[in-house]
Amino acid sequence: MPLTITNDKIDETNWLSDDGTSPRARGGSEMIRDVLKERLPADLMDQFKIIHSRVRDNMFEEGKKHLLLCHDTWDDPEAKHMSKKESLQRFEKLLFVSNYQMATFNMAHGVPYAHSAVLKNAIDPIPKHKKPADQINLIYHTTPHRGLDILVAAFDKLCETHDNIHLDVFSSFEIYGWEERDKPYQKLFERCREHPSIDYHGTVENHVIREKLQESHIFAYPCVWPETSCIAMMEAMSAGCSIVCPNFAALPETTANFALMYPWSEDNNHHAHTFYHTLDMAIRVHNEEDLQTKLHFQKIYTDSFYNWDLRLGEWEGLLRSLA
């Protein structure tokens, strides 16, 4: 089930802003909020109130048109209100970050396509950088509940047959201001710290991850969480990393057939087995010419399609059509 902070467990004044983002977080919602505020015309933005996923009655402002930008999954408790017609009517438009996500909300809540639009996430392209030739660097840069345990187990096994692999782990709920959510994963984090071929970094500023991605060869992501988009994957694709992930949720849409993708399974043991063999293959073929050619075109696609310059034009066009 989705991991959600519910209203009755935490005082919302400490973590929820009046647009649904969090003053304590540095996640995708907060990044999108900041980019739109900084790069779109102020006079246009002033006509709208964009609410991010979490809707409260006191967020609505008289004289403004309201948009709901959904980042979460259809079964998140915060999405229950979307089954109510009167709740949807408060918004000029319901915005989603992938076609997969929009379709799930339509099927689960009856959210009408005519009242919806998809504006995909975006990134600033990562400059091309020559990667190390003496080893294969793997990276995992998302929260731990999305598959870190599967990755660490597979990586440990792969070290038995590959003496030239290294893994960087950037993973903690601190990025969302939810440090208490790290407690069940402390043993896993310690396992990372103690492994001679793993560096555990916790939560760092995004520019540090972007720099590390330039040195990384493979984004190893045995995802068990139904991603609605995945900004981490977009940045890895832009950095020229091979992507190893399952064909789960929005990942096929996000990776646009560039990933080394394997069938997802609800059985974690089967998932881990399949992931291990797919990652083993990715390591073995990484330096082959055909793969390097694919990574070249992957970067061209990512830097063109997931570029903020393009996405901001789509945002501005939508806002002007609704103004």
**How does DSSP assign 97-117, residue by residue?**
SSHHHHHHHHHHH---GGGEE
In a domain, 4, yes or no: no
Q: Which residue has tokens 């345990």?
A: 149
Same domain, 99 and 111: yes
Average pLDDT, the chain: 94
Same domain, 194 and 106: no
Taking CA 73 as the corner, what is the angle to CA 70 and CA 76, rounded to the nearest 5 degrees? Answer: 100
Q: What is the CATH number of the domain that holds 283?
A: 3.40.50.2000
Same domain, 90 and 230: no
Same domain, 251 and 287: yes
Residue type, position 154, single letter: A
In a domain, 3, yes or no: no
Same domain, 194 and 316: no
Same domain, 257 and 280: yes
pLDDT tens column, 135-152 = 999 999 999 999 999 999
The pLDDT, as a whole number, for residue 178 is 86
Three-state DSSP state, 308: helix
The helix or strand, by DSSP H or E, that contains position 291, with its residue range, turns out to be helix 289-305
Contacts of 122 (CB under 8 A, 6+ apart): 35, 234, 306, 307, 308, 310, 311, 312
In a domain, 129, yes or no: no
Same domain, 100 and 150: no
Query: For residue 230, is it left (φ>0), alpha (ψ between -120 and 50) or beta?
Result: left
Residue 35: domain span: 12-122+308-322
Alpha carbons 103 and 110: distance in angstroms, whole number: 10
Alpha carbons 157 and 229: distance in angstroms, whole number: 30
In a domain, 33, yes or no: yes
Same domain, 194 and 239: yes
N residues, the chain: 323
The pLDDT tens digits along the chain (323 residues) read 233 333 334 455 567 899 998 888 788 889 999 999 999 999 999 999 999 999 999 999 999 999 999 999 999 999 999 999 999 999 999 999 999 999 999 999 999 999 999 999 999 999 999 999 999 999 999 999 999 999 999 999 999 999 999 999 999 999 888 899 999 999 999 999 999 999 999 999 999 999 999 999 999 999 999 999 999 999 999 999 999 999 999 999 999 999 999 999 999 999 999 999 999 999 999 999 999 999 999 999 999 999 999 999 999 999 999 99
Q: Give how many domains the chain has, as a whole number.
A: 2
- The CA distances from residue 138 to 47, 131, 153, in Å, are 44, 12, 14
Same domain, 150 and 261: yes
Proportion of the chain in helix, strand, coil states, percent, rounded to 5: 50, 15, 40
In angstroms, how far is the first alpha carbon of the chain from the final one? 37
In a domain, 128, yes or no: no
